[in-house]
Structure formats: structure tokens, C-alpha cells
Chain A
Amino acid sequence: MLLRFVVKRILLSIPLLIGITLITFIVSHLVPADPLTAVLPERAWNNPETVQMYRERWGLDRPLHEQYLIYLRNLLRGDLGESYTTRRPVGTDLRLFFPATIELATAAMLYAVIVGMALGVVSAVWNNRLADHLARLIALIGVSLPVFWLGLLALQVFYAKLGLLSGPGRIDTRLVAPPTRTGFYTIDSLLAGQFDVFLNTLYHLILPGIVLGSYAMGIIARMTRSSLLEVLSLDYIRTARAKGLAEQRVVLGHALRNALIPTVTVVGLTFGSLLAGAVLTETIFSWPGIGRYAVDAATKLDLPAILGVTLLIAVVYVIVNLITDILYGILDPRIRVG
């Protein structure tokens, strides 16, 4: 039963992945001029042979549907074209920059889940009292702040003015990056036994993590509140209370577990939005991830690089949704039947 559900969900996401490539293909053809102008570095135009080679490689002399199939074939080979900002294959760049983004997004997620759920529980338990109003206000502020502005403000206050937290970058400039194994500084530094680098990495994750996570925090708080309120009004909770159970055990032991099920979905969905938010946050914090890579590419209209990032984030988004769906099915058996 569970296996059938899992297989069905995986099969369902394949057309979506194909759809994503269709969209990036269409976007790459939106360029008003010859698509090659977007793909080829300026220097290459002086050499007709190079131009011809690219035309054949991308099949630009063929009909559109054939071009799409060639595009797909190139994608499956991991060929995303060449960035003319870095003059390297986009695939190589993405491998290089992605771990930094994942590390930041994970830190942001941790913050969002812990603070968001705590706020949501406070809100629901003290429904319509001062604590609820305050918690809801904090959540709403989190949802309303433009992330790039919040990042700038946070750097100005906590780093430049107060000197409380770390500045831009993944580690202090006085330190050397740990030897690359996974690309995650937290893991690499521990593997190399460099505890001071590890601590410094964590320290540098705090400010950008909170900034990036603030939106997701607000969403999770709101979701936890409404779903806990819903559960608290159910009959079995009234029964538990009638039996004289302590309120703390009613909320934490009985209600929260069921209230968390819809929240899991939201947590999954927000991870995708965190990757997207990283696009704007990383620029502020000089964070060498795919977000800053994309923004650097955007200012130079480096389309292959931008589309590479777009494609990567969308694919991760679909996969995270898939995992969330499956997790949801495991947590709530009723879903599997549908």
C-alpha cells in the first residue's frame, strides 16, 4: 500500500520535471535576438567556425521541437551551456556554488521551524490574548519584510554598529577555508579537525540564516497556530481535558502531534522558497552560493547561468515537494487512499 503510493507519487513528478525543462527552453528562446547572442561569448563571434559549431551543438538550424529534444539531451548529459561571466560550464559552477546555498538554507530552515513552531504554539494556547497578538504580529512582520532589505538592515545594525555578529562571507577573512570534501564548511571543517573554523562557520551562519528564514518563520508560525487551534477544538481533546489531564500534556502530548501534520507540508514547501530567497539574501551577505552567482549573472544578462540556477532550484523544489508528499502520506494514512 505504502509502496504503491510512493511509486505513484514519483511517477507523477516526472511530467512536472519535463514541464520545467520546457519552460526554461521557452525562456531561453524569449531573447529578442538570435538565441546564440545569449549563449555565445562575444569573442566567439569573430570566428565563423565556432559560431557554426555552436549552431550545430544546440541545433539552432533545426525546427523548434527538434531543438527542444537536443536541449533535453544536452541537459541529461549535464551540459547546461557555458557562463560567459565565469567562462566555465554552468554545471561546474553550480556544483561549486550549490553547497554554500544548501548550508545557508538549512540554517534558515532550522531557525524558521524552531521559532515559527514555538510562536505558533504560544499563539494557539493563549488564543486572543496578549501573547497571541504579539506572536501573530511577529509572524506577520516576518512575512512582510523584503528579505534583501532586512539583510542590509541586519548587517548595518548587528555587524557595523553593534559589532555583535559576523560580517559578510562564510568565514572570517583571517581564516582559510577548510579543504573541500563536501563543500559544506560545517562538515569539511569537522572532517579536517579544524574546530575553530567550524565555530566560525556557525557564527557566520547566524545572521544570514535568521534573515533568510524570517519569511518561512512567519508562514510556519501562522500555519502551526491555525492547525493547532483546529485540533484543540476537536472532541478527543475535550475528552482528554474532561479526564483531568494537565493542560500541558493535552497540548504537547495529544494535540501538537496531529497539528504538526499540515505543518510538515508547509515546512517542505518553504524549503523551496528558502532556496529562492537565497537569490536575494546571498548578494547582501557576499555569500558564494548559487543565488549570488545568479544575481551576478543577471546584471550581465548571462542567460545560460541564470537558466542553470532556475532549472536547479525548480528541480530541487519538485524533489522536496515529492519527499514532503511521501512524508505526509506516512504521517497521515488517510492521504494514501486518495
Chain B
Amino acid sequence: MTATTTRVSTTPLAARRPFWESPLGQTVRELARNRAAMIGLGILVFWILVALTVSFIVPFDPLKTDVGNRLSPPSASHWFGTDDLGRDVFKRVLFGSRYSIPAGFLTVLAALMIGSVVGAVAGYLGGWIDNLLMRIADMVLAFPSIVLAMAIAAALGPGLKNALIAIVVVLWPEYARLMRGQVLAVKAHEYVTAAEALGMGRIRLLVRHILPNTQAPIVVKATLDVGAAIVLTAGLSFIGLGAVPPDPEWGAMIREGQRRFSQWWMATFPGLAIFSVVMALNFLGDGLRDALDPRRRGRWA
């Protein structure tokens, strides 16, 4: 979304039009009409607010144990029950958003930046640089993401930071491919040839004219990928390669819950939290795809 905003500000013609008629305005209008996307946005905003404010609102240390109160099922005083050390699962789930939400957004942002630079350079320069960069991307893409992420995280050693590095490594190539394809498509347009003929520098041309026109599919992919990255982070923590106890990361909590099989609440609620965020992002991503696709526009109208 922020990316699309820059398009409006860098194109003087679009900026002079009323907002609702600008490309961004049309997309927003289309998106606002999509009920599923709005529900998704609502859930996502809720979780982001929780992640930002929970440590100010809830006077609670997520690591504080209360052994006298261990493994009690959900009740009025402990909505989601307590775990094997008597910690309140509801509060731990709320605090868990401070791990999973930033993890999802940061890894995708990093992958997007690395991938975009690589893809743009490859697509714009072409030749052997293009060949080399894209073959590297192909190699990484030859692995299913969780498998390669697991190997990298294991080699770097357990810990949330290493898990996030591993996730960035497996996510960037698709952005590189996408960006390269977009740059190639845009490069063929006449206005690029015109700008080149007018003596515009290559980098300036890339940044000012090519990049702003490549964003729609990338925004959609990034939205869907935040959900994928959250699941990957949780998955790595689940197998013991991500966040380590006693951190209340959702995947790590499910891992603890798996060991306490009959205390179903320990794993169920953190999993529900992951599911709600990922579902929300999928709703939003699908809505964005429809809203950004001019062919699908007006199908609802």
C-alpha cells in the first residue's frame, strides 16, 4: 500500500486528479467493497494494535510462573487456562503477537527489498549478470521453503534471529523473479525508450519510471507472504529451531502444548491466533488481487 502511495506522489498528473479517481483511490474503493477483505483487515489491525500496546495495557510478566496454579483448564480467572508453570495462556497468546506479527512483516520486508533490488538489476541490465542472479534464485527456489529454512536455521544454531534470517533467505528469490519480469515488461514500453532517448540516467530511469509501475503483483504477493512467513516462523519454533522457551512465541507455545497432550488448551489457543492472522492476511491478499486487477473490476458492480 505504501508503495502505491509513492506512485501517486511521483506522478504529477495523477496527483492533480481527485483522490477517488486516481488508481490508488479506485483500488481502495474496490477493496472497501469486498467484505472478506475488510474482515481480514479488521483482524489484522486488531493484532497489530495488540502487538503494539499489550505491554502497556496488561500489567503482566509473560514469564512469571505460578506453580500453585499449574495446568488449570480455561476458567473465568484464566480464560485460556494455564500452562505447566502456571502461566496464563491468554496473556501469553497476547504477548506472542509481539513476536509473530513483527517477524512476519520484517522478514517479508527484507525479502522484498533484497529480491526487488536483485530482480530490478537483473531485468534492467540483462546479459550475464541477469543470468547469474536468476540461476542463484532458481537454486534456492528448487527447495521447498520450510525444508531449506530448517537446514539454514539448524546450521546457524537455534534462536529467533537465525530463524528469521533463514526465512528471508528462502523468500527473496520469488520477489527477484517477479520484479525482473515486471521490469522486462515495463522496459519494453515506449515511454522508457523515450526517457532513454532524452538522455536520462539508467538508475534514475529505473527508480523514477520503471519501479513505480511494477508494484501491483508485488503488493499482493507480499500480503500473502506475511502469513506464510508467520507460519514458517511458528513452524521453525515448533521444531525447536526458532524462539526458545520461555519466550511466548506462538509456535514455541504449541511445541510446549504438544508435550502436554491432554491439556488441550495449551496448544489450541496459540494455534488459533496464528490461524486468525494468516486467514486475515489471505482474505486481504485475495481482495487486493481482485481490486488491483482491472479485468476483475466491476465484476461485482
Does B139 contact A22, Cβ atoms closer than 8 Å? Answer: yes
Q: Mark A298-335, 1 if CB is under 8 A from B, else 0.
A: 11010100110110011001100000000000000000
Alpha-carbon gap, A1 to B294, bound state (A) = 39
* Stretch in contact with the other chain, from A12-20, A42-50, A174-182, A256-264: A12-20
Asked whether B69 is an interface residue with its Cβ less than 8 Å from the other chain, the reply is no
Alpha-carbon gap, A252 to B135, bound state (A) = 41
How distant is A236 from chain B, measured CB to nearest CB, in Å?
Answer: 21
Number of interface residues of A (CB under 8 A): 51
Q: Mark A143-156, 1 if CB is under 8 A from B, else 0.
A: 11110111011011
Alpha-carbon gap, A23 to B227, bound state (A) = 26
Asked whether B148 is an interface residue with its Cβ less than 8 Å from the other chain, the reply is yes
Categorize the interface residue count of chain B: 35 or more
How distant is B221 from chain A, measured CB to nearest CB, in Å?
Answer: 14
Asked whether B117 is an interface residue with its Cβ less than 8 Å from the other chain, the reply is no
Does A140 contact B254, Cβ atoms closer than 8 Å? Answer: no
Chain B residues near A318 (CB-CB < 8 A) = 142
Chain B residues near A299 (CB-CB < 8 A) = 239-240
* Stretch in contact with the other chain, from A26-34, A62-70, A240-248: A26-34
Smallest CB gap from B254: residue in A:
A149
Chain A residues near B235 (CB-CB < 8 A) = 146, 148, 280
Given A275-B144, A299-B240, do A156 and B135 touch, yes or no (CB 8 Å)?
no
Asked whether A283 is an interface residue with its Cβ less than 8 Å from the other chain, the reply is yes
Alpha-carbon gap, A160 to B140, bound state (A) = 40
Asked whether A113 is an interface residue with its Cβ less than 8 Å from the other chain, the reply is no
Smallest CB gap from A277: residue in B:
B146
How distant is A14 from chain B, measured CB to nearest CB, in Å?
Answer: 12
Does B139 contact A23, Cβ atoms closer than 8 Å? Answer: yes
Other-chain contact of B240, A23, A143, A146, A298 (Cβ < 8 Å): A298
Chain B residues near A289 (CB-CB < 8 A) = none
Chain B residues near A232 (CB-CB < 8 A) = none
Other-chain contact of A309, B147, B157, B286 (Cβ < 8 Å): B147
* Stretch in contact with the other chain, from B17-25, B187-195, B199-207, B262-270: B262-270
Q: Mark B268-284, 1 if CB is under 8 A from A, else 0.
A: 10010011001100110
Does A276 contact B271, Cβ atoms closer than 8 Å? Answer: no
Chain A residues near B268 (CB-CB < 8 A) = 153, 156
Chain B residues near A156 (CB-CB < 8 A) = 261, 264, 268
Does B151 contact A24, Cβ atoms closer than 8 Å? Answer: yes
Chain A residues near B135 (CB-CB < 8 A) = 15, 19
Asked whether A38 is an interface residue with its Cβ less than 8 Å from the other chain, the reply is yes
Does B282 contact A144, Cβ atoms closer than 8 Å? Answer: yes
Does A27 contact B275, Cβ atoms closer than 8 Å? Answer: no
Given A146-B231, A146-B278, A301-B157, do A310 and B148 touch, yes or no (CB 8 Å)?
yes
Does B262 contact A160, Cβ atoms closer than 8 Å? Answer: yes
Tell me the total A-B contact number using a CB cutoff of 8 A: 136
How distant is A110 from chain B, measured CB to nearest CB, in Å?
Answer: 20
Alpha-carbon gap, A297 to B241, bound state (A) = 11
Alpha-carbon gap, A145 to B271, bound state (A) = 9
Does B271 contact A273, Cβ atoms closer than 8 Å? Answer: no
Other-chain contact of A38, B155, B158, B238, B262 (Cβ < 8 Å): B155
How distant is A146 from chain B, measured CB to nearest CB, in Å?
Answer: 5
Smallest CB gap from B283: residue in A:
A140
Q: Interface residues of B: mostly helix, strand, loop or mixed?
A: helix
Count chain B CB atoms within 10 A of each CB in A28, A144, A276, A295 and give the residue with the most: A144
Asked whether B66 is an interface residue with its Cβ less than 8 Å from the other chain, the reply is no
Asked whether A197 is an interface residue with its Cβ less than 8 Å from the other chain, the reply is no
Does B142 contact A301, Cβ atoms closer than 8 Å? Answer: no
Does B274 contact A149, Cβ atoms closer than 8 Å? Answer: yes
How distant is B73 from chain A, measured CB to nearest CB, in Å?
Answer: 13
How distant is B176 from chain A, measured CB to nearest CB, in Å?
Answer: 15
Chain B residues near A277 (CB-CB < 8 A) = 146
Smallest CB gap from A16: residue in B:
B142
Does B144 contact A276, Cβ atoms closer than 8 Å? Answer: yes
Chain B residues near A279 (CB-CB < 8 A) = 146-147, 150, 239
Lowest 9 CB-CB distances: which A-B pairs, in order? A276-B144, A149-B271, A19-B139, A30-B155, A144-B279, A144-B278, A310-B151, A299-B240, A295-B239
Listed A/B pairs (20) with beta-carbon separation below 8 Å: A16-B138, A16-B139, A19-B135, A19-B138, A19-B142, A30-B152, A30-B155, A144-B275, A146-B231, A146-B254, A148-B254, A149-B275, A155-B261, A279-B150, A298-B150, A303-B155, A306-B150, A306-B151, A314-B144, A317-B144
Interface on A for B, CB 8 Å cutoff? 15-16, 19-20, 22-24, 27-28, 30-32, 38, 140-141, 143-146, 148-150, 152-153, 155-156, 160, 272-273, 275-277, 279-280, 283-284, 294-295, 297-299, 301, 303, 306-307, 309-310, 313-314, 317-318
Q: A149-B267, A299-B240 are in contact. List 14 more A-B contacts (CB 8 A).
A: A16-B139, A19-B135, A23-B148, A140-B279, A149-B274, A276-B144, A276-B146, A279-B150, A295-B240, A301-B154, A303-B155, A313-B144, A314-B148, A317-B144
